[in-house]
A and B are shown apart, each in its own frame.
Chain A
Amino acid sequence: MKLTGAQALIKSLEMEQVEVMFGLPGGAILPVYDPLIDSSIRHILVRHEQGAGHMASGYAHATGRPGVAMVTSGPAATNIVTPLCDAYMDSIPIVVITGQVAYSVIGTDAFQEADTVGITMPVTKHNWLISDAQDIPRVVREAFHVATTGRPGPVLIDLPKDVANAPMEWYWPEKVDMPGYKPNVKGHPRQIKDAAKLINEARQPVIYAGGGIMLANASNELRALAELTGIPAVTTLMGRGALPDEHPLCLGMPGMHGNFTAVTAMQKADLLITLGARFDDRVTGKVSEFAKDAKVIHVDIDPAELGKVRFADVPIVGDLRTVIEEMIKALKSERSKQDPPDLAPWLATIHDWQERYPLKYRQEEGGPLKPQFVIESLRDNTPDDCILVAGVGQHQMWASQLWKFKLPNTWVNSGGLGTMGYAVPAAVGAKVGRPDRMVWAIDGDGCFQMTAQELVTAASERIPVKIAILNNAYLGMVRQWQELFYEERYSEVYLSPDLPDYVKWAEAMGCVGMRVDTADDVVATIEKANEIDDRPVVIDFRTDWREKVYPMVAAGSSNDDIILGPEFGEGGR
């Protein structure tokens, strides 16, 4: 069967069971948009290419399937670099297709030419420039394989216009043959045995669960491991929901804005069972002061993570689900030979911390609306399987701290890159992937202004996402740092609560816009928003600009120097 390169590309995407893609056409990708009309694939027309990339990422977060975005060459390709980098840092599988100028004119500075493969090399797991239409099915097959296996990540296919127009003989490769790409899935049995031995001897162990749990679909296994051993677990910013927050062994989020118990349990641990986490600086604080007495078991599918930041006493390369299963078997046999130490004193210490140092804030009667109150009200008035999306900054930290995640893949945020503006498009992508779920985004006023135009996409495609703007009229996190570390010298952080008028803006974009000024109106307005299912909703919550995120470990400090905040009295230490 003879096809054009463009037809082969669309057919290849269909073969990969792509149901939806996010994109925006332009000159160099025109040939591919023609056969798209006849395809089963739903295309969502974005308003900015960055939106397409983050939507693909939100889709992947919520569904576990790769998200697909397609844009044209040059400026469109450079606009999608941010989402690629974002997905690269958080190991999110997305496949981005970019148009390119004709192969014959590459290198001549043709109109809308950019060296897309060169530009995106450091922010993709791999990328391809296709020079022959005959390669298209093979490259698409390889791209999806690379994006979704091993440590997942973004990939990019750059397709020159003349290649898209060239004829090819259709085929579909049964197998992928990539001699340089063979992820190791099965953990080494001896290492697993060594890990089991360490776990069975530990007196103050902590499970350090990261986003890898979600990527490996291993939350059931994590729960089984925790319950078998009675070992408490922290869930990192990317790992929130890996173990339900209401589980008695879940300690919540560690790190710079983690709760006291999660941070301190890691600091005092004698063993860190690290599962799909990467000792990010936001978790460790000053590395040399981090969990100094802890031995480390580190399980990751990416060998390069093992020993990158922290020496691992037992490094294990493998798929988390398989490795945890094997670890549980090894533990059972270990425990049949020798009883583990009693963890009761350790758990008692932890419970004591939880009692003494909870997350605290105060919503005063008639006082300014606290952002934390808005988040808790949302949490308590949305279904258990609600997907929560966040941008980056104070609102993101409060959301991660205060939400009670009950299921994996219900938390979508930009962890590693910290991409402001992530929430709106990611929420749209998540809702497209899971139309059966309610999707709420908690966003900051600064973030919202970066990508709000994707609500036009949502309105026109009837994607009913709900956005709660915590409008404190500031770039809040930057303001917090200036207050604490730059002697309250506020430099370029004020945004104004009324400019833009968020309600009018929402309405102009085809959404329902509402505004809440007082705590009394919060729940009723959320309930009203929950009723709306035919268009997006934006609520402008006017929150107290003085509020800061606590606890906090200052950048570069030891996690021992955690600051609890004013609710805990003088200095809050």
Chain B
Amino acid sequence: MTLGPSPHHILTVTVENKPGVLSRVAGLFSRRAFNIVSLAVSPTDDERFSRMTIVVDAESAPLEQVVKQLNKLIPVIKITEVSPAEGVERELMLVIVKAAAETRGQVTELTAIFEAKIVDVGYDAMTIMVVGEPEKLDAFSDLVKPFGIVELQRTGRIALPKLARESTRLRSVKTARA
């Protein structure tokens, strides 16, 4: 599974924390024939709201139409578009890799290189947790594949916009000029 190069948009959507909201969002996507690449739902610091991080297949629909239709859903409070270049994206993967005595060393080494973590060890397999950009997860799963992947799960990405690195005053001067 490769998520990296395919054109996608990331929407972080603040929704009311009410029953059925996920179904409304999912229903809208299927009804309007928009494709979801990944979807993550989590609580926010305010218990009235949840945040959905939706990765949309950019080829299936113009982003503008997706955003406008989403905005019409009453429980949708706010939508932020994070273009892959301007966002910080992270994803978590749990993967069970076969690791008999003779290959265990190599798997452990890869784990170290990727700054991943072994979270469970069995007789001939290990569960490894990898956190990072989705491309890093892709790379890790490709590399451990030859050892044998027993099971693999990914959370789907979450994202936030990158923060400004200059003072707000400087930025406002720039926008005024533009």
* Cβ B77 vs Cβ A180 within 8 A: yes
Provide the bound-state CA to CA distance between A302 and B65, in Å. Answer: 12
- Closest chain B CB from A280 CB (angstroms): 16
**Is there contact, CB below 8 Å, between A303 and B77?**
no
Closest residue of chain B to A302, judged by CB?
Answer: B72
Say whether B156 faces chain A, with CB atoms less than 8 Å apart.
no
Assess whether B72 is in contact with A146, with CB atoms less than 8 Å apart. Answer: no
Instruction: Please state if A308 and B65 are interface contacts (CB–CB under 8 Å).
Output: yes
* Interface residues of B, count at CB 8 A: 21
A181 touches B74 (CB 8 A): yes
Given the known inter-chain contacts A121-B23, A121-B27, please indicate yes or no for A180 contacting B65, CB distance below 8 A. no
- Complex CA gap A389/B1 in Å reads 55
B76 within 8 A of A: yes
Q: Knowing A117-B20, A121-B27, A129-B20, say if A180 contacts B74 (CB, 8 Å).
A: yes
Determine whether the beta carbon of B65 is less than 8 Å from that of A126. no
- A37 at the B interface (CB under 8 A): no
Tell whether A121 pairs with B68 under 8 Å between CB atoms, given A146-B74, A181-B74. Answer: no
Q: How far is the CB of B124 from chain A (nearest CB, A)?
A: 42
A95-126 contact mask (Cβ, 8 Å, vs B): 1 or 0: 00000000000000000000001100110001
Q: Give Cα A180–Cα B70 distance, bound, in whole angstroms.
A: 11
**Residues in chain B near residue A302, CB distance under 8 A:** 72
B64 contacts A by Cβ under 8 Å: yes
A118-B23, A121-B24 given; A304·B72 CB < 8 A = yes
Q: Does A179 contact B (CB under 8 A)?
A: yes
Q: How many angstroms from the CA of A155 to the CA of B48 in the assembled complex?
A: 23
- What separation, in Å, do the CA atoms of A36 and B62 have in the docked complex? 48
Cβ-based interface call for B75 (8 A)? yes
Is A307 engaged at the interface, CB distance under 8 Å to the other chain? yes
Q: In the complex, are the beta carbons of A178 and B74 less than 8 A apart?
A: yes
- On whether the beta carbons of B23 and A307 are closer than 8 Å, the reply is no
Q: Please give, as numbers and ranges, the residues of chain A lying within 8 Å of B169 by CB-CB distance.
A: none
Asked if B81 is at the interface of the complex by the 8 Å CB criterion, the answer is: no
Does B31 lie at the interface of the complex (its beta carbon under 8 Å from any beta carbon of A)? yes
B residues 31-50 with Cβ under 8 Å of A?
Answer: 31
- Cβ-neighbour of A179 out of B27, B64, B77 (below 8 A): B77
Q: Residue B60 at the A interface, CB < 8 A?
A: no
Interface CB pairs A-B, < 8 A, 29: A117-B20, A118-B20, A118-B23, A121-B20, A121-B23, A121-B24, A121-B27, A122-B31, A126-B74, A129-B19, A178-B74, A179-B77, A180-B15, A180-B16, A180-B73, A180-B74, A180-B75, A180-B76, A181-B74, A302-B72, A303-B71, A304-B68, A304-B71, A304-B72, A306-B68, A307-B62, A307-B64, A307-B65, A308-B65
Binding site for A on B (CB under 8 A): 15-16, 19-20, 23-24, 27-28, 31, 62, 64-65, 68-69, 71-77
